[in-house]
């Protein structure tokens, strides 16, 4: 478990914390124009990638170290702190020598404990703020482990960036949000700075505003939004970047809500919450009753040498559940997730009973 982390001054001054800048630093002119476009847009930190590991070789993978002096100029001319991504020891050392203010660790690096440990070793004795993106797969333990490794190196200002996870099926999102993953991290580390990355979740600038508001509604502390002076001609991730002017519009439309507004009567919502609690109790009772029937089915299958998995039967059940759920306003994705979890528990119970 992490020790108590130091507060982030920029978070204390203003909520939400806003980190903005281009996906990649492409040219000195592009970086400076973007930074000056953001200077008076109520952002806290300027970000830019100079080392850009891509999924496949041949794509633009960043300008590398030559971009560091450009970022130093940004800080000198705008006064904004600078954040960049690091993926190995070389990146860390060069960023520290260049006086970069904040480092973040990308999702592809977080998934590798060996790489994280090497970065942690390079940070020994250097208390620079570090942001850590969730791994590309929905594994909270990996995310938590990366945070713990960095904390043990002596870093006291650590934040987490939620950028969604990779998915196999086509979706409106580039990366599935997996909001529960971020909420689970907060259970372990309730005081950690939690930033949402709507750009990487959406992969589409049209969804950035919606996802940003969802994040704030779930009590995220800030947002990291990719912003480019000319996003349509960006050298990487053009579709998910916006202009400084578009960012300003989005930020002005965001509503920062509170958990318990002052002067609001909560009696009505408490009654509704009691109703939810009663329904949840019924759900638990029904699930328990369902599992008892599952055990009877398991004994029947064992006596008659039947396989536990009855795929055709299960597919037919899910199809019917989806159709019934749609009539009640429930999405296919929700119904599938719920009954897949129920089915997995049923399979495990049958296996345990028969093998016992």
- For residue 223, list its beta bridge partners: 18, 196
pLDDT of residue 296: 92
Q: What is the pLDDT of residue 252?
A: 95
Q: What percent of the chain is modeled with pLDDT above 90?
A: 76
Which tens digit of pLDDT belongs to each residue from 89-147?
A: 999 999 999 999 999 999 999 999 999 999 999 999 998 999 999 999 999 999 999 99
Q: What percent of the chain has pLDDT over 70?
A: 95
Q: What stretch(es) of the chain map to CATH 1.20.59.10?
A: 267-355
pLDDT reported for residue 1: 39
What does the pLDDT read at residue 3?
A: 41
Q: CATH 3.20.20.70 spans which residues of the chain?
A: 9-253
228-270: pLDDT as tens digits: 999 999 999 999 999 999 999 999 999 988 777 776 777 778 8
Q: Which pTM value belongs to this model?
A: 0.82
3-state secondary structure the chain: CCCCCCCCHHHHHCCCEEEEECCECCCHHHHHHHHHHHCCCCCCEEECECCCCCCCCCCCCCCHHHHHHHHHHHHHHHCCCEEEEECCHHHHHHHHHCCCCEEEECHHHHCCHHHHHHHHHHCCCCCCCEEEECCCCCCHHHHHHHHHHHHHCCCCCEEEEECCECCCCCCCCCCECCHHHHHHHHHHCCCCEEEECHHHHHCCHHHHHHHHHHHHHCCCCEEEEEECCCHHHCCCCHHHCECHHHHHHHHHHCCCCCCCCCCCCCHHHHHHHHHHHHHHHHHHHHHHHHHHHHHHHHHHHHHCCCCCCCHHHHHHHHHHHHHHHHHCCCCHHHHHHHHHHHHHHHHHHHHHHHHC
Read off the pLDDT of residues 318-354 as tens digits, 9 standing for 90 and up.
Answer: 999 999 999 999 999 899 999 999 999 999 999 988 8
The pLDDT of residue 38:
97
Task: Decide if pLDDT at 11 tops 70.
Answer: no
Average pLDDT over residues 35-59: 88
pLDDT over 80 at 7, yes or no = no
Token pair listed for 304: 């008659």
- Mean residue pLDDT of the chain comes to 91
What confidence score (pLDDT) does residue 253 get?
95
Q: Which region among 56-60, 62-66, 118-122, 148-152 has the lowest average model confidence (pLDDT)?
A: 56-60
Position 353 scores a pLDDT of: 87
- pLDDT score of 5 more than 60: no
User: Which superfamily, per CATH, for 9-253?
Assistant: Aldolase class I (3.20.20.70)
Q: How confident is the model at residue 287 (pLDDT cuts 50, 70, 90)?
A: very high
Q: Which CATH number fits domain 267-355: 3.40.50.1240, 3.40.50.2300, 1.10.150.300, 1.20.59.10?
A: 1.20.59.10
Lowest mean pLDDT among 16-25, 52-61, 152-161, 291-300: 52-61
């Amino acid at each position: 478990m992490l020790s108590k982390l130091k507060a982030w001054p920029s978070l204390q001054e203003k909520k939400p914390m806003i980190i903005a800048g281009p996906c990649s630093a492409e040219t000195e002119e592009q970086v400076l124009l973007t930074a000056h476009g953001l200077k008076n847009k109520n952002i806290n930190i300027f970000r830019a990638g100079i080392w850009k590991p891509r999924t496949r070789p041949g794509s633009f993978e960043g300008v590398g170290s030559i971009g560091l002096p450009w970022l130093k100029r940004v800080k000198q001319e705008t006064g904004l702190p600078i954040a960049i991504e690091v993926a190995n020891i070389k990146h860390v050392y060069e960023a520290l020598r260049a006086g970069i203010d904040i480092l973040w660790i990308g999702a592809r690096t977080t998934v590798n404990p060996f790489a994280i440990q090497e970065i942690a070793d390079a940070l020994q004795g250097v208390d620079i703020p570090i942001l850590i993106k969730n791994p590309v797969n929905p594994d909270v333990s990996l995310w938590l482990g990366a945070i713990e490794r960095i904390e043990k190196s002596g870093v006291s200002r650590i934040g987490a960036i939620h950028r969604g996870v990779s998915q196999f099926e086509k979706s409106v999102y580039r990366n599935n949000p997996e909001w529960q993953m971020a909420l689970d991290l907060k259970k372990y580390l309730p005081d950690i700075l939690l930033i949402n990355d709507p750009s990487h979740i959406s992969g589409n600038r049209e969804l950035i505003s919606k996802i940003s508001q969802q994040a704030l509604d779930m009590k995220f502390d800030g947002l990291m939004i990719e912003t480019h002076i000319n996003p349509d001609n960006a050298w990487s991730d053009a579709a998910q970047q916006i202009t400084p002017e578009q960012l300003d519009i989005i930020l002005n439309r965001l509503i920062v809500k509170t958990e318990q507004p002052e002067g609001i009567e909560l009696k009505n919502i408490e009654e509704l919450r009691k109703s939810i609690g009663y329904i949840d109790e019924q759900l638990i009772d029904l699930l328990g009753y369902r599992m008892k029937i599952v055990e009877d089915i398991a004994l029947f299958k064992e006596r008659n040498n039947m396989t536990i998995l009855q795929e055709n039967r299960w597919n037919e059940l899910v199809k019917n559940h989806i159709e019934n759920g749609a009539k009640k306003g429930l999405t296919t994705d929700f119904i599938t997730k719920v009954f897949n979890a129920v089915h997995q528990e049923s399979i495990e119970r049958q296996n345990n009973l028969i093998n016992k």
